[in-house]
Each structure stands twice: as structure tokens, then as C-alpha cells.
Structure 1
Amino acid sequence: MTTFTTKTAVETTGGVPLAEASQPGRLVSLDVFRGLTVMAMILVNNPGDWGHIYPPLEHAAWHGCTPTDLIFPFFLFIVGVSIVYALDSARRDTGRHGQLTLRILRRSAILFGLGFFGAFFLLWDLSTVRIPGVLVRISWVILACGLIFLKTGWRTQAALLVLILGGYSVLLQVVPVPGFGPANLEPATNLGAWLDRLVFGESHLWKQSRTWDPEGLLGTVPAVGTGLLGLLAGQWLRRAEFDAGKKVGGLLLAGGVAAGLGLLWNQWFPLNKSLWTSSYVLYTGGLAAAGLAALYWLCDVRGYRRWATPFLVYGVNAITVFFLSGLVARGLGTWKIPFGGQDAVSVKQVLYQTFFTPYFADPRNASLAGALACVLIWLAALWVMYRRRIIIKV
């Protein structure tokens, strides 16, 4: 069940307790990185007008990678790092492995349930509810990476990463697609899309297509690879025998190499978020590692933290704000009221046309202002929780 606490506690993906956030040895940068990532999620998921968005705030149409395409893999990378910090000490006691396994299973199941409820909310139609989704994919990554970390060392994890990325490339680029012929990377006819239709049926996939899903089953396998990169980064930062300079330098080097390999692989296996291609895993994971290294140097080594408070506020209740913001957005877009002579206009349209469109000549600026307002409104709510040390965990 979901619990509410006013005590210092660890957020669902393994965050740093508030009371310890300023103590030596705590990874403040992880909460800051998580907060930055979730704040960006809220920004890109809540434009004032989906028809008027600046290109960097949109996903790539298919192949390619925009700044928006970095957000989800960054979060899964953070999940991997968080697992290390949440479980590393306890996993050394093999007698606790059964308890830790149940803990991992419980968290994964609750996140899966929250994802399903978010898709079901206000639609109330089991025949068309979308089953794959962001929280559902996070739940699978937590389950897989949690169990892998519990039972294996970093060398095995690195080997698994290579196997996953290589195997996924073969599946999508070599294995024929039943009913379509040769392997291909097209939206509706690739192997992953075929598998999603086979398992879920078209009525339970992403409503914008109904023939494929950007968080589908097969693409969750390389998404676990993104989590594995986070596991490896977290274990590197936990190495007590290394000083801060070596940790930062090593993580920056590894991130640069991974991103470079991803760009190189892009020539044969294109960067693609919807397919979560192997090149995309390396490229985005490399950038995430470099970003964490920079934040670690700033926040944990040099102690520059005042600037990061808004991101900490988001970071310690990351899953909470992502889940609730989705419900609120669904509600505002679903509930209709009379407005401007019209009988049925969504509450979101009423708010947007009242407070934003009259004040911006460029509709893209009005749309961006609406998204920024959403970020600030949630920041205010989370700030109250932060000041009262309220963390909602599962």
C-alpha cells in the first residue's frame, strides 16, 4: 500500500532522506538530477496547446533524438543508481535477500498498478485501457534491475548489458516479422509492434496509433539496459577506495565513451526513443552519466547546493508529482464547462484561453507559458511538502 510520512524517508526509487541530504557521503546530486528530470517531464507533458510547441520540447518524429527524448532514459538511469544506494548495504547480508526480493516485487507491483490506474482514470473502460506506459515500464526496470543487482556483481551486469544491446539489435534488424516479411524499423511493422499487437491487442495500445506503443514489451528489454548503466554508475560512485576526482573523471570518461559509441552505432541502428534502440541506450546513458558526474562534483564534492533547492523539492517526491500531474491533466482535459458561448469546453481550454492566449502574440510562447505555469504550480505544492518533510513512498 502507499504510505504517507512526515518523517525523513527514502522515496520509492531510492532517494536520499531529507535529514541526511546535507551530510557528507550522501548523494545529494541524485535527488537534484531526479528533480531536474521530473521537472522536465512535467514541462513537456503539459503544454498549453499541443498544436504549438517549440521543436526541442517535442519528441523526434521517429528516428533521432531531441532534448525531450533524453528525459525518460535519464530517469531510468537514475532508477539504476538509486537501486544501488538503496540496496547496496543490505544486500551484503544474504540472509536478507528474501526480504529485499519481496520489497522489490512490492514496489514494482505498486508502480505497475499506479500506471494502469492512470491510464484507466476517467475513461473507465477496460476494453480500451492502455496497458503499456511510462510507470509500467519503470516498474519492469525496477523489478529487473533490482533483482539483478541483488544477485550479481558489476562484471555480470556489464556482460548482461552487452548481451541485451547486441541481442536486441539482432532481433530488430535480422529476425523476420511474422505477417510482414523481413526485419524492419518502421513504426507499425517492426518486431516490437507485432509483439505488442499479439499480446495486448490493438485496443490496449497507445491511442495515437493503436498499431504500436512507444512503451511496448520488446522495447522494455533495452530499457532495462539503461537501468543497468545506472547500476554500474552507482557502484562506481560507491567505491570507497576512490577519491572524488577519480570518481568524477571516471564517470565523465565512461559517459563520453558510451555517448560516442551510441552516435557511432546510430549509423547502422538509428537513435530512436520509441524503439529504445541500442544506440539510443548508449547515447542517452552516456549523457546521463556525464550529467550525474557534473552534479556530483557541484553538489556533493564542492557543496554548491542552494541553487538546487527547487530541484530537490521535485526530486524527493518524484513519482508522486509525476503520477498526480497526469491525473490532474487528464481531469482538466476531460471535464467540460460552458465558455464563450460554447456549451462544452474543457477546463484546460478555459484556463488557457483566459490566462495565456490573450497575452502572447506567438501561440508557441503562450503554450510554453502554460507549461511553465504548470511546473511552478506543482513546485509550490511540493515545496509545502518539502518544508513539512512529507514524502509519499510506495
Structure 2
Amino acid sequence: MTKDRLLSLDVFRGLTIAAMILVNDPGSWSYVYSPLLHAKWHGCTPTDLIFPFFLFMVGMAVSLGSPKSGEARVQITKKILKRTLYLILIGLFLNGFPYFELSTLRFPGVLQRIGLVFFAIALMHHYVSSKGQVIIGTSLLIGYWVLISFIPVPGIGEPNVMPDTNFAAWFDRLFLSGHMWSISKTWDPEGLLSTIPAIGTGLLGIFAGQLLFKAEDKTDGLIKVFVLGNLLIVLALMWEMDFPINKSLWTSSFVLYTGGIAMNCFGVLYWLLDILKYRTKITFPFEVFGSNAITAYALSGILASLFGIIPLANSSIHQVLFDGLVDIFDNNHFASLIYAIAFVTLCYLPVFILYKKKIFIKV
């Protein structure tokens, strides 16, 4: 572990990436335990927490740097733009791999959203005061609520929060028709309009980071984070009565709810790992994953695609391995879970080698 890295942040990021790979790569989508699936529409499962947790940590990582001014601000802005473009391009590469059918290439995606959120919050960190960031974040969440809940949907009618007919789905079809999520085709869970409230998730990470990392008394900062986190959860549950908690729409209540849970979860890790200096072998694999998180995620996407297309015994590598696990365990759901765990382990090995060589790939 290098001295300039925050252990709790690496572990939390690593837990999130490992969980992301786990839920993305079951042995069979027909046999997945319900906590490892997204909510069908409204609601929030453990799986729905993963992506907002990562965006929250993007904000926390941004908060570790001091705001720049003058020529330093110009240089950091160039770096922010460069990193944003890299994330978007890697995301597009993963969406297209291995066939790269440009006519139907999905434009939105996880890394694309991470890139856009990072771009927005990193610029705000260097150009906007903390008070201004709070005002902007609040305005984004309220504005998005007004758009979805009160503005009539062109060509459809009354505002609604149904999958195909809500304002965000209409907006995305306007600009991304033919290049959206292949499963739905009419809306995208990482669409353009729903990226606006996702910026709020990143800002919550910045706010939590400022409370924790800038406080002279770390315990006092931690208490403030716990209080704020639980206040956000209460506000989210109140707002949910009018604006449902929904990951695919990334509703404003979803931002507050998942942000509050993220603050509580990270607060516990920060207290254990960076205040009490508690060390355990259990956290080490997640520290490894967290130190090269984007690399691990990109690798998982490439391997998953290759396992699905490389032929083996009149089938694919993926199918042969899953069928073998079914034969061993005689339980499709359990075999599917074991496959996912084995896949996470496979992705761990390359990043472990990078960690041992002290190579941390920054996108």
C-alpha cells in the first residue's frame, strides 16, 4: 500500500468493483438469486447500490485534491477532460467488443456515465465554491424531479414514471435512437437525462469527503457524515412517496437514499481502517481490486465477451463451464453463483500482479 492512498477508499472501491463483476457475470441469467438482480423497476436491491456507490467514491476521490486556481487550474482542467475522454472511449470499446457493429453500437454505458459525472464534479470542485456545489446539486435533483413529474411528455401526454413513456426515455430516444440498451431499445438505464441526477451522487461523495478528510478532528468529521447519511435516507423515504426510488431513472430519491447508505458504509470502513488502523486479510483482496478498479472492470467485460464467443465442445467456454458446475452441484442457482465467484477470482489475478508490482493504472 503506497502512502498516498487511502485504504478505506481503496477497499470500498474494491468491494464495489468485485460486486459489480459478480452481478454482471452469473453462470446463467435464468438462475440468479434475487438480491443479485436489479429491482424490476421501482425499489432498491443490494445490486442497485453498486453503481451509485462507485459514483459516490468518484466524488470522494475528487475531494482529496485541493481546488486549483490560475495556471494550475488550466492544467488540471486539461487532465480532467483527458480522463473523461478515456473513460468514455473505453466504455464505447467495451460496448462494441468484439464485433463493433457501429450502426447499433450502444452509446451510453457504465464507464460513459462515470466519465460524464467525473467531468462535471471535478470541474465544480475547482471552479465552484462548496456553497455553490450544494446549490447546484440541490437544483439538479429538484429540476429532474420537476421534469419527470410535472412536464408532459411530447407525443405521449401526462408525465409518468413508467419505463417506455417517461420524459427521460423520450429525451434519450430523441438523441440515441438505435443506440440504446439492446434489451429495452426504448430507454437506457445509463441514458443522457438520468445522468443529470447522477451528478448529484458524485457531489454527495465530494461533500462526504470534505467532512471527513478536511476535518481536524477525524471522529467529529465521521459523526457528521453518519448524521448526514441518515438524514439523507429519511429525506429519500419521504420523497419516495411522490418520486419513487428507481435506479433506471436515477430518481432524486434514489440519489439521496443510496448516497445516505454509501456514507454510512464508507464511514464504518474509514473508522476501522483509517482511524483505528485495523488490518485484516479479509480486506486485502478488495484493496487490490480498488487500486486498479477501472482496469478490473474493463478486463471483466472483455473476458465475459470472449468466454461467450470462443467455441468449446460444440458450445462456448462460458456454457461448458456452467454446465460442468451444474453437474457438480446439481443446483442451477448455486452453480450460477459459483461461476460468478470464480469469474471474480479470475479477474482478481491480473490486478493482484499489478498491485504486487506497484503498478496503479490511472485512466
> Normalization by structure 2: what TM-score?
0.97
Measured against aligned partners, the alpha-carbon deviations of 1:258-317 in whole angstroms (never above 9, x if no partner) come to: 011111111110000000000000000000011111111000000012232111000000
Asked if 1:263 is matched to 2:242, the reply is: no
Task: Give the aligned partner of residue 126 of structure 2.
Answer: 150
Asked if 1:68 is matched to 2:37, the reply is: no
Counterparts in 2 of 1:140 and 1:379: CA distance versus 1, 3 Å = same
RMSD: 1.2
How big is the shift at 1:94? Answer: 2.9
Distance 1:34 1:94 in 2: 32
TM alignment of 1:335-354, pairs within 5 A = 335-337=310-312, 339=313, 343=314, 345-354=315-324
Give the counterpart letter for 1:365 in structure 2: F
Tell me which of 109, 114, 123 is aligned to 1:133.
109
Give the counterpart letter for 1:328 in structure 2: L
Measured against aligned partners, the alpha-carbon deviations of 1:6-45 in whole angstroms (never above 9, x if no partner) come to: xxxxxxxxxxxx3216xxxx53111111011101001101
Tell me which of 332, 352, 359 is aligned to 1:363.
332
Task: Give the aligned partner of residue 259 of structure 2.
Answer: 285
Aligned length: 362
Distance 1:164 1:288 in 2: 20
How big is the shift at 1:361? Answer: 2.4
Distance 1:378 1:125 in 2: 26
How big is the shift at 1:93? Answer: 4.2
Task: Give the aligned partner of residue 236 of structure 1.
Answer: 211
Asked if 1:77 is matched to 2:56, the reply is: yes
Q: Which blocks of at least 5 consecutive residues in structure 1 are unaligned? A: 1-17
Q: Which blocks of at least 5 consecutive residues in structure 2 are unaligned? A: none
Greater shift, 129-138 or 256-265, is seen at 256-265
Divergent runs of 4+, >3 A: none
Task: Give the aligned partner of residue 175 of structure 2.
Answer: 199
Task: Give the aligned partner of residue 156 of structure 2.
Answer: 180
| SS of equivalent residue, structure 2 residue 361 | strand
| SS of equivalent residue, structure 1 residue 204 | coil
Asked if 1:212 is matched to 2:187, the reply is: yes
Task: Give the aligned partner of residue 41 of structure 1.
Answer: 20
Asked if 1:330 is matched to 2:305, the reply is: yes
Distance 1:173 1:92 in 2: 38
| SS of equivalent residue, structure 1 residue 373 | helix
Distance 2:295 2:128 in 1: 30
Distance 1:367 1:238 in 2: 40
Measured against aligned partners, the alpha-carbon deviations of 1:132-191 in whole angstroms (never above 9, x if no partner) come to: 000000000010001011111211111111101110000000001111001111111111
Distance 1:65 1:135 in 2: 21
Give the counterpart letter for 1:68 in structure 2: T
Tell me which of 68, 73, 78 is aligned to 1:97.
73
Distance 2:214 2:114 in 1: 26
| SS of equivalent residue, structure 2 residue 263 | helix
Task: Give the aligned partner of residue 269 of structure 2.
Answer: 295
Distance 1:234 1:119 in 2: 32
